[in-house]
Amino acid sequence: MSEAPRPSPLLRPAFTGLLEALPATTPFVGPETLERRRGGVFALRLGANESAFGVSPRVQAVLHRESERANWYCDPEHHELREALAARLGVTRGNLVVGEGIDGLLGLIVRAFVEPGEAVVTSLGAYPTFNYQVNGYGGRLVFVPYREAGDNDLEALLAAARRERAKLLYLANPDNPSGSFHGRDAVTALLEGLPENCLLLLDEAYAEFAPAEELLPVEAEDPRLIRLRTFSKAHGLAGMRVGYAVAAREIVAAFDKIRLHFGVGRLAQLAAAAALDDQAFAGTVVRSVAEGREDYRRLGQRLDLPTLPSLTNFVAFDLGSAGRSIRMVELLGERGVFVRRPGQPPLDRYVRVTVGTEEERAAFAPLFADALEALGEERLEPAE
């Protein structure tokens, strides 16, 4: 029997030059991946900044009621959810685009505004999914280090945007991974100082945890600004993947040309609308998180570990060096605790811990103390 002919190498599908040039990368390694590597589940899942406080009873009710219609496609216009958001924010439905969490919307925005090679400015070590999207569409990332105090350097970000003629300036406020927050006056000055043809991309995933009076007022038709928010944090719908952007109607209409119209499923849309309708529940979560942040601050004092001020659902503990923070993540993992750490200086000396329930925090404290004691007995090589 003759051998089957081998396919010609010329018939191999050719990737684009952009894709060929990209390194293999993943913005976040999921806790499930880490559990498979370690051969067991984490007892405490405190690294992904998910809400530890569940979802609104109204969300539970709508998911139970509508589950038998999971076979239906979603409304590709997200009409009811956008109507509810418009009423809540005092904008029009035309000022809103719904997407697959903020992550999906970041890709949509980069694709719409950034030509290959054009500059995009962000903080070094800020939310990595944004960098992933910029690289994937051929943009050129320009990084500005965080200040030593752990917050975004707004003056340096603005200077870089002007110098590089950036198309986008990305700011998470409140910030991930530091938890820091810039008030209304500072963000207004940043917006007013933007160079021509530069958009401020304001990621407000943690907006519910910040003082409402210190957030920018919603001026939806400002062509210089796109605001991003999510149902993943205070509303507890991280697994449903629902985010939204507030922007000028001209921008939202342009997104319709390229967005994934069926990307946000029907149950996710209904769950988000139900969550939006229960602000009392979200308020309870915000208050519980504030109590948890204070617990962590006191824990840091007892363990002689400074913490960064936070207006998010996590707190960053200062381990003193990148090598110690790397090892602390490992030691906590060995004790069944999933946490994460920032990867770039000056924040790379911190370990970031999501605010858990009161029971989870009580379980975490002795494990953290035990890991810290073990860390103190080790001699560490400097981190590369």
Q: Tell me: the pLDDT tens digits for 4-25?
A: 666 666 667 788 888 888 888 8
Average pLDDT, the chain: 94
0.95 exceeded by pTM:
no
Look at residue 3 in the predicted model and tell me its pLDDT.
67
Instruction: Give the pLDDT confidence of 140-181 residue by residue, as tens digits.
Output: 999 999 999 999 999 999 999 999 999 999 999 999 999 999
* Residue 381 within any structural domain of the chain: no
Tell me the C-alpha to C-alpha distance, in Å, between residue 45 and each of 30, 106, 347, 361.
11, 26, 21, 11
The answer on pLDDT for 383 being more than 80 is no
Asked if residue 286 and residue 270 are part of one domain, the reply reads no
In a domain, 21, yes or no: no
Domain boundary among 248, 277, 306: 277
R_g (Cα) of the chain, nearest Å: 22
pLDDT above 70 as % of the chain: 95
Is there a single domain that holds both residue 36 and residue 102?
Answer: no
Buried b / exposed e across 210-235, counting CB within 10 Å, b at 16+?
beeeebbeeebeeeebbbbbbbbbbb
Please tell me which residue, 381 or 153, carries the higher pLDDT value: 153
Q: Which of 242, 277, 312 is the last residue of a domain?
A: 277
The answer to whether residues 200 and 104 belong to one domain is yes
Predicted confidence (pLDDT) per residue in 211-249, tens digit: 999 999 999 999 999 999 999 999 999 999 999 999 999
Query: Model confidence at 207, in pLDDT bands (50, 70, 90)?
Result: very high
Q: Is residue 32 a part of any domain in this protein?
A: yes
Residues 142 and 166 in one domain: yes
Strands 225-230 and 243-246: antiparallel
Residues 234 and 332 in one domain: no
Least confident range from 18-22, 74-78, 85-89, 181-185: namely: 18-22
252 lies in some domain: yes
- 182 close to 150: Cβ distance less than 8 angstroms: no
pLDDT of residue 267: 97
| Residue-number span of the structural domain to which 266 is assigned | 57-277
**Domain presence at residue 20:** no
Residues 194 and 320 both lie in one domain: no
Domain boundary residue, one of 277, 311, 333: 277
Position 48 in a domain? yes
Strands laid side by side in the 119-123 sheet? 96-99, 243-246, 225-230, 199-203, 168-172, 119-123, 140-144
Judge if 197 and 75 occupy the same domain.
Answer: yes
Judge if 162 and 296 occupy the same domain: no
What's the rounded mean pLDDT across residues 45-50? 96
CA distances from 373 to 149, 304, 351, 369 (A): 26, 12, 16, 6
Band (202; pLDDT cuts 50, 70, 90): very high
**Which spans in the chain are helix H?**
17-21, 31-38, 57-66, 79-89, 101-113, 128-136, 154-164, 184-192, 249-255, 266-276, 279-302, 322-334, 358-376
Residues 267 and 288 in one domain: no
**pLDDT exceeds 90 at position 382:** no
Q: List the CATH number of the domain containing 31.
A: 3.90.1150.10
Domains in the chain: how many in total? 2
State the burial class of residue 278 (Cβ atoms within 10 Å of its Cβ: 0-12, 13-18, 19+): middle
Does the pLDDT of residue 261 top 60, yes or no?
A: yes
Residue type, 303: L
Q: In CATH, what number is assigned to the domain containing residue 198? A: 3.40.640.10
* CB-CB contact of 315 with 177 (8 Å): no
Q: Are 267 and 331 members of one domain?
A: no
299 plus 268 within the same structural domain: no
Amino acid at 159: A
Tell me: do 116 and 214 sit in the same domain.
yes
pLDDT of the residue at 15: 86
In a domain, 10, yes or no: no
* 38 located within any domain: yes
